[in-house]
Chains A and B, each alone.
Chain A
Amino acid sequence: MAKKEMPLSHLVLQQSIAQLGKVVLGKEPQIKLAMACLLAKGHLLIEDLPGMGKTTLAHALAAVLGLQYQRVQFTSDMLPADLLGISVFDAQNSKFDFHPGPIFTQLMLADEINRSTPKTQSALLEAMEEGQVSIEGETRPLPQPFFVLATQNPVHQSGTFPLPESQLDRFLMRISLGYPSAAAERMLLKGINPRSLLKSLQSTMSLQQLADLQEQAQAIHASDHVLDYVQRLIQFSREYEGFSYGISPRGALALISAAKAWALIEGREHLIPEDVQAVMPAVMEHRLRASSHGAAAEALVDIVLNAVDVIQG
């Protein structure tokens, strides 16, 4: 990684974030996290109430990054084949033709993923983890890059199938958008619909540039002291009595790669504790569970962050 390249990539990223900011108003932290998630080649879960702009964000991301985009609305009667595709017999040629499902795209928005049955949810698993799908005994690769942006309504809403831990673990981050700020809401009320701006969004980078950026994110230097800090965080999550289980090695890897992508967005070539702290809630909230009911996931991450010393153990 050449040092000169850095400002340019930083510029591209800043541009992308600025573009996204036009559409998703007043949500810069969430936009940055979403970008970081994609740069770390992770899948993103957006959890929020209906009507908070989840779909808009997904759409805008696809537009800005210049990716193919498919949107799938998950429903309770949806079957895996609806997602993956189906082979249809062609009588003329006496053979089966494969009709790819909506999953064959670069960025898939899985809207309201927790409305579908576990069977369909788990059909996504292989796709997310391996970048390929197996249909009727045949393995088919998915396009590169492949991202899943899933949205879900809060679990306690009726008619939902909560994602199991194993599936939650496949998502690098889980974020929620929350209500817009007063100023942003005023704009909405004034009739300026950001959605209409979606069409005007231009892609800021090529596929090649995206791949380069992902590579740069991976190459971010993580010194022993940062790794020590990460390990202290992980260790604490495993030893603390308030958690029913600690963070898995996969969770630890997720934390590091997300933090690296964050550092890239911040325009740095090395990782600092602030990067780790910035991505920690998004990466960890859906991976931790309190041993007693009632404690909110947000509070859990705060417990870890406040208890673990940044500098030394």
Chain B
Amino acid sequence: MSLIYQIPRPALWWLLLAQAAVILPLMQYLPLWLLAVWALCVGWRIQVVRGVFDAPKVMVKVPLALCMVAALVLSYGKLFALEPLVALLLLAFLLKLLELQSQRDVLLLLLLGFFVASTQLLFSTSIIAFLYAIISFTFLMAAFMALHTATATHSFWHSLKTSSVITLQAIPLALVLFFIMPRIGSLWTVPLSDGSAKTGFSDSMEPGNISQLSKDYSPAFRVDFTDKKAPVQSSLYWRGLSLSSFDGRRWELPFQDRDDNIRYRRIAQEQKKLNYDWQVDFASYRRKDSSPYIDYQVMMEASFQPWLFALTTASVTAKDVLNTPDYLFLSKRPVSQRFLYQARSYPEFKRQSQSLGPSERYQNTLLPKGSNPRASALAQQWRSAGDSDRKVIANAMRLFQREFTYSLQDTLLSELNPVDDFLFSRKRGYCEHYASAFVVLMRAADIPARVVIGYQGGQWNDEEKYLLVSQADAHAWAEVWLPEQGWTRVDPTSAVAPERIELGFRDYIQQSSTSIEQNGFAELRQSPLLMQLQMQLDAINYSWQSWVLSYDQDQQMIFFQKVLGGQEHWRIVAALMGASTFMLALLALWLWWRARPEAPAAELVPWLELEKKLAAVGWNREPGETPQQFTLRIAGQRPDLEVLLERYTKMAYTLLYTPIGSDQHQQLLKDLAGLRNSIRV
């Protein structure tokens, strides 16, 4: 009978701990019954180690594994997607516990563990997940250590200590490799979880759907301005998409634009063939040297929508992103993971100031027949009084300013004629109500107008110098077309609640005034401490994202350019070698420092100094020779030195071997120094 391999006990405990660490984060995404499978495997393994059960036979193992795979397919309904495949891998990791028949099996299991521990990063790339992965690796390494040092009589925790040291030692190396090793693009992509959880607003606007977002402080995007200066809040209108089609209640994209894929393809084709006026205008404006502009970089969170955000009249450089005729941006694919793009905005550019095409004019003055009759009547009344476009706009703004309240309450208007309901009976509402009512009034007065949705403001992080725009900053405003001016932004909310625009949403609700208390903003307030904490956490996240997650080939090239002064191969190789030499040198320095001789005691110094002096002319003391014997030897050859050396030795002896006070000590040190100078060898 052959001997049965038994895993060393400390290694088993570490292995189980490491398994627990690896499984824990995955349980957020995978079915919980896997935990039961793990418990079963652990129980069985422990009983095997205790000698109570036999290791499972093939007859048991094969059906068990097949059942598990079947269970997986049943609970997901499919096998070839991210979650089921990760679950399959995890299952293999768990079931292998039943099959530890040799040390090789344990090693295999541990190596598999490293792979499984990495899969949690497919679900989350936050810094927490990353640190957690490192901790899991440390545990797995501890199991390795325990396996290989099973015969040594270390304490249980010794393995963890060693593996922690190994991990810490690996970090500098990992950093160097991360920043310097040439980065190749991803070799394959994993289908990430489908965008069922769309965040932010949708591609339409109706009463209530923007005010809902006011409770959501999750980040929408972060902006890094090239000049690193805090921008003026009231200028921060992040345009997302413009809605020109209205059915009396809901604002939408024009009918032909509603399918993003078709729209993208159409615009892409049009732009291939022709140069449109709006493009030519903007291109020539950009070429002028005097045009003022702002440069910035936007790091957008996954929105699962195809549009990007930028300040007024921007040009965006990113792959597979199109400029639409309303100076907005459409990405080929929905933004399903963090997306980084560079943008340059020209705030003074006048959009389509020359003329507006007939179909565009028609589209932007169209109102559904018979809806919201009172609003139309009011606008036509202004118009018939002979007022100019500007006067009409001013009338509307004055109306809002005088009689209306900015409020988060009571946002669902009546189904029929909601604009009339808002303008004439409720007289309170959130930005979407004002934008909607304003555009209806303008269109009724025959002024081309449209609703724009996006974000307004943002929170400036002064430590890391970036702007955080969260979902709560979502905003809707209007754009009207004026001759000579082109498309001009008009924000009716600024007439009702100018502080909202000047301060930004978060600071606005922090104010204490009766209108804020009464209109449902107060309950959105956060304690300043919490806000501070959030800002700091966000700053850490931002650094993590900008330095680590978005560090791709291009970023690396920029890094090389900045740090190495170029991108040639020899520079990279030199940097790699330099960095490793530096680290080895540090290590050597540390080892040397640890082994350095201790500084001699103060009493020894005078004698050692004399020895040095004598050694310089070739008189070396033998180790076993006492100072007296040594000086006697020298005196035999140099009688002239005899007296001095004898005196010196005597004093040195006093210093070394007699009990003396510190005063005398100092005096002796001084005398010896003096005497040493007078000894001329």
Chain A interface residues (CB < 8 Å from chain B): 221, 223-226, 269-274, 277, 305-312
Residues of B within 8 A of A270 (CB): 657-659
B624 touches A307 (CB 8 A): yes
B623 touches A221 (CB 8 A): no
Q: Counting CB contacts under 8 A, is B626 at the interface? A: yes
B658 touches A310 (CB 8 A): no
Q: Which of A223, A269, A271, A306 contacts B623 (CB 8 A)?
A: A306
A311 touches B607 (CB 8 A): yes
Residues of A within 8 A of B526 (CB): none
A274 touches B626 (CB 8 A): yes
Residues of B within 8 A of A305 (CB): 624
CA–CA, A17 and B621, complex, Å: 33
A223 in contact with B626 given A311-B607, A312-B608 (CB within 8 Å)? no
Using an 8 Å CB-CB cutoff, how does the interface string of B638-681 with A read, 1 for contact, 0 for none? 00000000000000010011110000000000000000000000
- Looking across the interface, which residue of chain A has its beta carbon closest to that of B625? A310
A223 touches B657 (CB 8 A): yes
Q: Counting CB contacts under 8 A, is B337 at the interface? A: no
CA–CA, A312 and B602, complex, Å: 12
CA–CA, A311 and B625, complex, Å: 9
Nearest-neighbour CB distance to chain A for B634, whole angstroms, equals 16
- Other A-B pairs beyond A225-B603, A270-B657, 13, CB < 8 Å: A224-B601, A225-B604, A226-B656, A226-B657, A269-B658, A272-B626, A274-B629, A305-B624, A306-B624, A307-B623, A309-B623, A311-B608, A312-B600
Residues of A within 8 A of B629 (CB): 274
By Cβ-Cβ distance, the 7 closest A-B pairs, closest first, are A306-B624, A309-B623, A270-B658, A273-B626, A305-B624, A223-B657, A225-B656
Q: Which of A223, A274, A311, A312 contacts B659 (CB 8 A)?
A: A223
Using an 8 Å CB-CB cutoff, how does the interface string of B34-56 with A read, 1 for contact, 0 for none? 00000000000000000000000
B600 touches A271 (CB 8 A): no
Nearest-neighbour CB distance to chain A for B599, whole angstroms, equals 11
Nearest-neighbour CB distance to chain B for A56, whole angstroms, equals 33
CA–CA, A143 and B284, complex, Å: 123
CA–CA, A219 and B487, complex, Å: 105
A310 in contact with B626 given A225-B601, A225-B603, A225-B604 (CB within 8 Å)? yes
Using an 8 Å CB-CB cutoff, how does the interface string of B579-604 with A read, 1 for contact, 0 for none? 00000000000000000000011011
Q: Counting CB contacts under 8 A, is B627 at the interface? A: yes
Residues of A within 8 A of B607 (CB): 311
Q: Counting CB contacts under 8 A, is B628 at the interface? A: yes
Q: Which of B604, B625, B657 contacts A312 (CB 8 A)?
A: B604
A310 touches B627 (CB 8 A): yes
- Looking across the interface, which residue of chain B has its beta carbon closest to that of A302? B624
Using an 8 Å CB-CB cutoff, how does the interface string of B603-621 with A read, 1 for contact, 0 for none? 1100110010000000001
Q: Counting CB contacts under 8 A, is B622 at the interface? A: yes
By secondary structure, the B interface counts as: loop
Q: Which of A223, A273, A306, A307 contacts B658 (CB 8 A)?
A: A223
Nearest-neighbour CB distance to chain B for A259, whole angstroms, equals 12
CA–CA, A122 and B127, complex, Å: 78
Nearest-neighbour CB distance to chain B for A270, whole angstroms, equals 5
CA–CA, A223 and B658, complex, Å: 7
B657 touches A306 (CB 8 A): no
13 contacts between A and B (CB under 8 A): A221-B659, A223-B659, A224-B601, A270-B659, A277-B624, A308-B623, A310-B623, A310-B626, A310-B627, A311-B604, A311-B607, A312-B600, A312-B608
- Looking across the interface, which residue of chain A has its beta carbon closest to that of B600? A312
Residues of B within 8 A of A226 (CB): 656-657
Residues of A within 8 A of B656 (CB): 223, 225-226
Residues of A within 8 A of B659 (CB): 221, 223, 270
Most buried by A among B604, B622, B657: B657
Residues of B within 8 A of A312 (CB): 600, 604, 608
Chain B interface residues (CB < 8 Å from chain A): 600-601, 603-604, 607-608, 611, 621-629, 653, 656-659
Residues of A within 8 A of B625 (CB): 310
A274 touches B628 (CB 8 A): yes
- Looking across the interface, which residue of chain A has its beta carbon closest to that of B624? A306
CA–CA, A277 and B627, complex, Å: 13
A310 touches B624 (CB 8 A): yes
Residues of B within 8 A of A271 (CB): 657
Nearest-neighbour CB distance to chain A for B619, whole angstroms, equals 15
A272 in contact with B653 given A223-B659, A225-B603, A312-B600 (CB within 8 Å)? yes
CA–CA, A309 and B603, complex, Å: 16
Residues of A within 8 A of B623 (CB): 306-310
CA–CA, A310 and B631, complex, Å: 14
Nearest-neighbour CB distance to chain B for A151, whole angstroms, equals 31
Residues of B within 8 A of A272 (CB): 626, 628, 653, 657
CA–CA, A113 and B241, complex, Å: 116
CA–CA, A312 and B599, complex, Å: 11
Residues of A within 8 A of B601 (CB): 224-225
Residues of A within 8 A of B622 (CB): 306
CA–CA, A135 and B628, complex, Å: 52
- Looking across the interface, which residue of chain B has its beta carbon closest to that of A274? B626
Nearest-neighbour CB distance to chain B for A291, whole angstroms, equals 21
Nearest-neighbour CB distance to chain B for A235, whole angstroms, equals 14
Residues of B within 8 A of A309 (CB): 623-624
Nearest-neighbour CB distance to chain A for B150, whole angstroms, equals 33
CA–CA, A308 and B625, complex, Å: 9
Most buried by A among B603, B604, B623, B659: B623
CA–CA, A306 and B608, complex, Å: 19
CA–CA, A225 and B626, complex, Å: 13
Nearest-neighbour CB distance to chain B for A279, whole angstroms, equals 14
A221 in contact with B624 given A312-B600, A312-B608 (CB within 8 Å)? no
Nearest-neighbour CB distance to chain B for A174, whole angstroms, equals 21
- Looking across the interface, which residue of chain A has its beta carbon closest to that of B654? A270
Residues of B within 8 A of A273 (CB): 626
CA–CA, A271 and B658, complex, Å: 8
Residues of A within 8 A of B653 (CB): 272
CA–CA, A311 and B605, complex, Å: 10
- Looking across the interface, which residue of chain A has its beta carbon closest to that of B653? A272
Most buried by A among B604, B622, B626, B629: B626
Nearest-neighbour CB distance to chain B for A227, whole angstroms, equals 10
CA–CA, A268 and B623, complex, Å: 24
- Looking across the interface, which residue of chain A has its beta carbon closest to that of B652? A311
CA–CA, A202 and B625, complex, Å: 39
Residues of B within 8 A of A311 (CB): 604, 607-608, 611, 621, 627
CA–CA, A269 and B660, complex, Å: 12
Residues of B within 8 A of A274 (CB): 626, 628-629
CA–CA, A289 and B626, complex, Å: 25
- Looking across the interface, which residue of chain A has its beta carbon closest to that of B656? A225
Nearest-neighbour CB distance to chain A for B173, whole angstroms, equals 38
CA–CA, A224 and B657, complex, Å: 8
Residues of A within 8 A of B626 (CB): 272-274, 277, 310
CA–CA, A224 and B658, complex, Å: 10
Residues of B within 8 A of A310 (CB): 623-627
Nearest-neighbour CB distance to chain B for A305, whole angstroms, equals 5
